[in-house]
Structure 1
Amino acid sequence: MIIMGSIISLMGTTIGGLVGIMIKNPSRKLLGTLLGFAAGLMLSVVVFDLIPEALRNWSFKHTIIFCILGIIFIAFVDKNISNESINQHKKMAMITALGLMLHNFPEGMIMGCGFAAGTNLGIKMSLVIAIHDIPEGMAVATPLMASNENSFKIFLYTVITALPTTLGAILGAFMGQVSNDLLGANLSLASGIMLYVVCGEMLPQSNKLWEGVSNTIGVLSGLIFGLIIVYLL
């Protein structure tokens, strides 16, 4: 049942990636709008989901400290991979994927604990994670589209991004319960990384691709859509 649940949860990120792949020869306006939408989604998930969840697991002080550590870590990574030989959109996809992978691992552990508690709870968690991860797949695929990456590699990268969910599910099933400190640390670090990605990479690149009002509408639509997803799930 853990394998079935893992497959269900993997489908969310994969579907998000496929949405990006299906858009052929997108214009700069469309890419800028989609990147803005993905940025709005990620910002919404961080502010309305990840940080509140981290605060439920441990103190405000620890959440802030680890969030800042996440920002410092990814800023260091960003600085050290910034060179002319690396396409900026690919770099953005790489650090976006890193933040999402760190976020997906504790999600998988929660799902695994659900299976340890009972099959129905595990399946329910799998479906919730799958729906939740669709926009995350889009967040990885959109900058890769902008870098003219081929469809197979975009699909492969989105699947790899989702794999920590499966690893977390297996570990969570064996553990039976997840340490609040571990969850809090992972969620806070992921929040810091994703905040840096949104503010330092996705929004500036979105503006470079297209500076029109559609870009702003994309960001705001992503924020609202992300809030709806967080509220419903």
Structure 2
Amino acid sequence: MGAAVTFFASCVGAIPVFFIKNISNKIRDILMGISAGVMLGAVCFSLINPAILLLEHQFTDKLFIAAYLSLFILLGSFGISYLNKKIPHEHFLKGKEGGEAKSLKRIWLFILAITIHNFPEGLAVGVGMGSGTEQIALPIIIGIALQDIPEGLVVALCLKSYGFSNKYAINATLIAGLAESFGALLGCLSTVFSHAMLPGGLSLAAGAMLYVICGEMIPELHKEGHESQATAGFIFGFILMLFLDVGLSW
């Protein structure tokens, strides 16, 4: 269910591409700032915090708990970092990265970039679903779905601004949404078959998302001179996720 909700949110976000020719760089940065803030909020409140609480029920050694979480956070961040270096892709502002990017059509470079970005979000949704606990799953699903809407809009409009047709822009967004769903499936299966892996899975997803936020999103937000507006959006997104997590845990 969670994978379907987030996929639908990405689709909804891309629909306005048929009616909106473009958005200003400032609006784009604000929207992406909100998305990044929601993601960081999900990392803190919906992934790491539940992982700590789950481990505290199993272990009394605080240092062991911190080391356990740190290990999986590092594994998640290094895993996405490895994919980022090995898979050829292209960012809207940073340009081409990864392996041999020259041999691929530009549209596929963009799609691969969005896929690398979306996979950790899907992983987080899947791990939350696999927990079997609404207090863990619901904030993650709703938070990721909310940030998928502006993100889907920005991705579709950016592709359109690069000369791609509405059809290509929509299809690219849908493919990226499927990548998120695939991540959700993997995350869910890993925790359903081994509930003991839930704290590790939550921390792994947190590390992967932290890499995307710090290594991909924040640098892009600081390249067009709209740092203040993007930061305001970031803080708003973070607070929104705080309200979601606290409200849904009542």
- TM-score normalized with structure 1 length: 0.75
Is the CA contact (8 Å cut-off) linking 1:90 and 1:144 kept in structure 2? no
The change in CA–CA distance for 1:70 and 1:169 in structure 2 (over 3 A counts) is closer
* Counterpart residue number, 1:134: 145
Alignment of 1:136-215 (within 5 A): 136-138=147-149, 141=152, 144-145=155-156, 146-148=158-160, 150-165=169-184, 178-180=194-196, 182-215=197-230
Paired position in structure 2 for 1:10: 4
* Residue in 2 that maps onto 1:94: 115
Deviation at 1:77, TM superposition (A): 1.9
Percent sequence identity over matched residues?
Answer: 23
- Which residue does 1:61 correspond to in 2? 67
Alpha-carbon distance in structure 2 between the residues aligned to 1:67 and 1:170: 19
Tell me which protein shows more helix as a share of its residues.
1
**Cα-to-partner distance string for 1:193-232 (whole Å, 9 max, x where unaligned):** 1111101110111222452532121111111111111112
Contact 1:93/1:140, CA 8 A, preserved across alignment: no
What secondary structure sits across from 2:236 in the alignment? helix
Please name the residue that 1:39 is paired with: 36
Where structure 1 has 5 or more consecutive residues not aligned to the other structure, the ranges are 1-5, 115-120
Deviations along 1:24-46, one digit per CA (max 9) or x if unpaired, are: 22221111111111111101110
Structure 2 match to 1:3:
none
Gaps of 5+ in 2: 56-64, 88-96, 161-167
- d(CA) in 2 for partners of 1:171, 1:215: 35
Q: Does 1:76 align with 2:82?
A: yes
Structure 2 Cα separation of the partners of residues 10 and 197 of structure 1: 22
Q: Whole-Å Cα distance in 2 between the matches of residues 171 and 194 of structure 1? A: 18
Note the alpha carbon deviations across 1:128-177, whole angstroms, 9 max, x for none: 6653431242375256233446113313422441345467668877x6xx
Q: Distance in 1 between matches of 2:27 and 2:131?
A: 36
Name the SS of the counterpart of 2:131 in structure 1: helix
> Once structures 1 and 2 are overlaid, which stretch shifts more, 132-141 or 164-173?
164-173
Residue matched to 1:50: 47
- Matches of 2:54 and 2:227, distance apart in 1: 41
Q: Is the 8 A contact 1:13 1:158 kept in 2?
A: yes
Residue type of the alignment partner of 1:211: H
| Aligned counterpart, 1:26 | 23
* CA distances 1:100-147 after superposition (whole Å, capped 9, x unpaired): 222222223234xx7xxxxxx8xx988666534312423752562334
Amino acid at match of 2:67: K
Superposition deviation, residue 79 in structure 1? 2.1
| SS across alignment from 1:154 | helix
1:118-133 matches, cutoff 5 A: 130-133=141-144
Q: Does 1:103 align with 2:124?
A: yes
For residues 170 and 54 of structure 1, the distance between their equivalents in structure 2, rounded to whole angstroms, comes to 17
Q: Distance in 2 between matches of 1:128 and 1:209?
A: 32
In 1, the alpha carbon distance for the partners of 2:81 and 2:141 equals 29
- 1:228 corresponds in structure 2 to 243
Aligned mates of 1:46, 1:191 — CA distance in 2: 5
